[in-house]
Amino acid sequence: MEITLLQHTSLAVCASAIRTCWQSFDKSDDGGEKDRELIDRVGNKFKHASTLEHLVYTFYIKGISRALLQELARHRMASLSVKSTRYTLKELKAEESYDKKDFKRASKYLVMTDHEKVNEMSIIALENLRVILKEGVSNDKAKYCLPESYKTELTWSINARSLQNFLTLRSSKSALWEIQILARKLYENLPFEHQYLFTCE
């Protein structure tokens, strides 16, 4: 799994939005310590969390499973643009056949778990998909054979308020193991000066 922070809103923008409410622009320090304290006090301590929606982060996320993609779709206050299986299954069509023990080669397309039998069954599903594609079945039909472990990538944008909720829920030990990893990596890829707004187990 690879995470890249593509862009983020400056803390000064969020502080300015908060200062709009009280017309206290003269107290701004352009995203410095006073503004950082203001954002935390108003957004977190006073629970005026809508002000945190002015902070937006856009990540490029690569190498997650379609099972994890379904989990991301439950976070509705985020935008995602996902690699299309309609146009990209030709990559698999060009591969040689897979044996169920072909873990290393199959990991190009599949997220592997710590359970050997699950990985073997995923590789069998991958091979079935490859065979269907070789037979000339259209991608729109063939993609119904995709295993949940099939890798995808996406651009994901989320505001700070929603990201707080995401990190709280998804870094929990009760969350899907793969999304726990994603939550920690997202947190680690936040700008250091923004991390104080979030908690991640």
Q: Which residues are catalytic?
A: 170
Output DSSP code: residue 182.
H
DSSP-assigned letters across all residues of 44-111: IIS--GGGGGG-EEEEEEEEEEHHHHHHHTT--SEEEEE--HHHHTHHHHTSPP--TT-HHHHTTTB-
Tokens of 187: 């947190």
Task: Return the C-alpha torsion angle 161, 31, 47, 166, nearest 10.
Answer: 20
- Return d(Cα 124, Cα 120) in angstroms, integer: 6
For residue 68, how many other CB atoms are within 10 A of its CB?
24
Please work out, in degrees rounded to the nearest 5, the angle formed at the alpha carbon of residue 69 by the alpha carbons of 66 and 71. 120
